[in-house]
Amino acid sequence: MKNEIDSVVFPDSITITESMIPGTEEVQLRCIRLTPENPKTDKQFVFLPGWISEFDSWRYFLPELADYSEVIYIESREKRTSVASDEVDFSIKTIQSDLIEILDQSNLVRSGYVLGGSSMGATVVMESLEHLQRKPEKVVLVIPNSSFNIPGSIVLLKFIPIPMFTTLRWITRWFVMRFKINKEDTDHSDAFVNQITRANMYKLKKSALDFASYQLDWSILSRFKTPTLVIGARKDNLHQKEGIRKIAESIPGSTYQDLKDFTATHSSKSARLITNWLKGTN
């Protein structure tokens, strides 16, 4: 029997534990814990993925990373896997509150951990760092956002009834595929189609309305005291390439590494880049 979850296969030496963990506002979040039999370090790697990112889009990255250290993979509240009432919102601020609750109050994460995030998850990590009581030893930011390229017309979503969400899904898919994703990066295109098809459109709608007005407070970056690795992607049209480099330049003493495209940031090469940086070998 294969050692797998969500069609992602791991070596038998890695134990997979899936659970629901509490955030704030009685929200429950899906957590996947990947525990290697012989980790290369006792430091846990806590990882918050991007906006509609699904576990299988990390099928090359996570097995490589989990071979090095225990990984705590947390799916934030806007994901289809969360348990949340219609009354809660799905803003960066509430996702940040969930992460702080987990890191400061739960027994899931030990002291001396590494904190990482990708895209929206990396944005939440940046916003959370100075508010944490139990701070990480190191931080990894993969294609972080300083804002989200959501057009002002997003306000029209407020007036779209639930029965039209299927139409909304296809409009969103067409727009992003037509204008945002690098057509040469076919793996990214395939991943986005799968993710938007499976996304909970009610949660996606509410989070999009909140994310549209988000702007990073750049002053928080100058106060970073934690060693930080920033990973960009020079051919990724969906994320802000110059904004990512500016983030790296704004964090004192940070390390910046540039990969080819979005798919490369989700690859085993990206995971090796991170583990080498954690070991101090690059």
Which one, of 181, 195, 178, lies nearest residue 239 by Cα?
Answer: 181
Whole-angstrom distance, CA of residue 62 vs CA of residue 1: 20
Domain residue extents for the chain: 4-148+215-279
**4-148+215-279 has CATH 2.160.10.10 classification:** no
Residue 48 carries which side chain, given as an amino acid letter? L
> Residue 235: what residue type?
K
pTM: 0.89
The whole-angstrom separation of Cα 194 and Cα 183 is 16
State yes or no: pLDDT of 104 exceeds 90.
yes
Position 157 scores a pLDDT of: 56
| Strand residues in the chain grouped as ranges (E) | 4-5, 8-9, 14-22, 28-36, 45-48, 71-74, 114-118, 138-142, 228-233, 255-259
The residue that leads in pLDDT, 164 or 159, is 164
Residue 147, classified by CB atoms within 10 Å of its CB into exposed (0-12), middle (13-18) or buried (19+), is: middle
- pLDDT exceeds 80 at position 17: yes
Q: What is the pLDDT of residue 90?
A: 93
pLDDT value at residue 179: 44
The single-letter code of the amino acid at 174 is W
Q: What is the pLDDT of residues 176-220, one digit of tens each?
A: 555 455 555 556 556 666 666 677 878 888 888 888 889 999 999
